[in-house]
Chains A and B, each alone.
Chain A
């Protein structure tokens, strides 16, 4: 199933898979909505001037919530919370995990042992339990929730980068670079890093989805975003308390599904492009 139009001839076929296109479009729409929220959203996300519990109608396509706020506007503004935070979180997790993983692979010995055992330890503790404990310890709040998710998600990146760097360092072209006089740091940056970028990007895309799920889950439990903020997880939680008004919780949830789906579609297609099989297995240490 491939779309092939004349002007697309220069684009590699893997990018033209229907799912890749759907993923790119969805992600693009959400990015645009996040940037343009103040101009696109029909109402103020915090204004409580509409009637309460209004079912979806022309004036309020997603209805209004328990204190008279427009659900559609809050869903659109919610993109400004979850999406940038997810990007920030995955970048930080990659920076921390990737650095530790590269160091472990490069230095070997006890550094390697220490980093990998620490990663094992985090793997053995259920994500949400550790995250809950971190948030409970630091107090609820989005920043703390983000920190908690970083604490639980760096090991995946560390494992992938370590295994990739190890394999690449043994390759002939790195040996040649070193023989030609490149320093270890230069070899690592110029020769090794570009060759491990593909799988790392795949993992990052898949991680974006996981990060949004976990972050909104923490908010749903009341450990992330605080009440007035338009955050999808806490909006679903409000919906849970007002069961008969299904629209309060259903639409923010659909927003989460569509964003995560977009990142998963992208990650899945990117995996086909960069690296047919091994990213997820490496992350799991198989």
Chain B
């Protein structure tokens, strides 16, 4: 809402116009802080998208590898006509800046191009693979969040005692284990030796998929009331989720411990104890709340970083998700697919950051969104 310009100042004057704009922005900021905040983040997302696509373009083009050859194979790759057709089909015959502009133009309309490897629209590929990864990643983050925060609080309360030292070894151990190795060892023990869990994939081959609602099999099975399908999906999910959770659990434990330690020494904690509050009320009501901002930040960041783990873990557990897809795309220099995955992850990263910032305000009302 713009107020009319004060009389005496010509509206056509550029400085007045700029003034008005600035005032409008300031007003929007004070009246609708949340909208302004979301707007800023959307702008950041667009800029990030431009950056990510530019990086992917440069990377995949400044390279000795030729996508035409990589996708057509030796025979067809040595046939100039086939190569020419391939190039024209994917716009590879045009100069790079022009390719980039064409891509951005299509992207704005929601068209992410066609994967050179699956011969399907990237959007369809992403829609198929994202739910599988989301199911795995969310389970692992919830698992590591609950365990990590719990153990971190425990370690802080037992500072420098045996429990603390043991937890220190356990958490640093979790952060030191290569996920691909942990995945193999756990598969060997729990599948090959003990047969406690099924080997790979999201469901046993004989079990049919639940009707698709979210694409996450556990939730879909629950929604359609198919308990045996749910049980099977959970059996498949548990091991990769635990493997993926190991690193984050260690990280969250370390962060929670140091955040809680910093808060424990404060006067208001002593006051809470002095006025006779039971210990659990002191911890839950006073300590945890004050200690949560850094913990929330790390958990939020985990959403952006969980991809690194999923690429390796999905490969080992044959989990048909975005990790395997990005591995296949990267190794075949499938540009539209690579950019698609990068954009998706950048989106998750920004959204996670936004949620973290909003949570900051909820945890600590003094924090203003900017």
Contact = CB atoms under 8 A, between A and B. Distances in A.
Contacts of A284: 297-298, 301
A285 to B, nearest CB: 9
Contact of A121 (B52, B180, B308): B52
B258 interface: yes
Interface string B322-333: 000011001111
A23 to B, nearest CB: 9
Find the residue from A124, A216, A253, A264 having the highest chain B CB count within 10 A: A124
Interface string B20-62: 0000000000000000000000000001100110011001101
B297 A257 contact: no
Interface of B: 47-48, 51-52, 55-56, 59-60, 62-65, 160, 162, 165, 168-169, 172-173, 175-181, 184-185, 187-188, 192, 254-255, 258, 262, 294, 297-298, 301, 304-305, 307-308, 311-312, 315-316, 326-327, 330-333, 338, 341-342, 345-346, 349-350
A138 B63 CA distance: 6
Nearest to B70: A136
A266 to B, nearest CB: 10
Given A121-B51, A281-B294, 18 more contacts: A123-B304, A124-B304, A126-B305, A129-B308, A129-B330, A134-B59, A137-B65, A139-B64, A217-B308, A217-B312, A236-B180, A236-B184, A239-B184, A243-B188, A243-B192, A246-B188, A249-B184, A256-B181
A133 B177 CA distance: 24
Contact of B185 (A135, A214, A253): A253
A125 B176 contact: no
A1 B165 contact: yes
A253 B55 contact: no
A240 B184 contact: yes
Interface string A125-149: 1111110111111110000000000
Contacts of A124: 48, 52, 304, 345-346, 349-350
B298 A129 contact: no
Contacts of A18: 165
Interface residues of A, number: 54
B168 A19 contact: yes
Given A217-B180, A236-B180, A277-B262, A136 B330 contact: yes
A272 B177 CA distance: 23
Nearest to B192: A243
A126 B187 CA distance: 26
Which 8 pairs show the lowest CB-CB distances between chains A and B?
Answer: A253-B181, A126-B307, A132-B330, A137-B63, A260-B176, A261-B176, A128-B308, A121-B51
Nearest to B168: A19
A236 to B, nearest CB: 5
Contact of A133 (B60, B165, B176, B178): B60
A277 B254 CA distance: 11
Interface in A241-280: 243-244, 246, 249-250, 253, 256-257, 260-261, 264-265, 268, 276-277, 280
Contact of A261 (B60, B172, B333): B172
A229 interface: no
A155 interface: no
Contacts of A117: 47, 51
A125 to B, nearest CB: 6
A277 B327 CA distance: 36
Contacts of A125: 52, 55, 342, 345-346
A199 B351 CA distance: 30
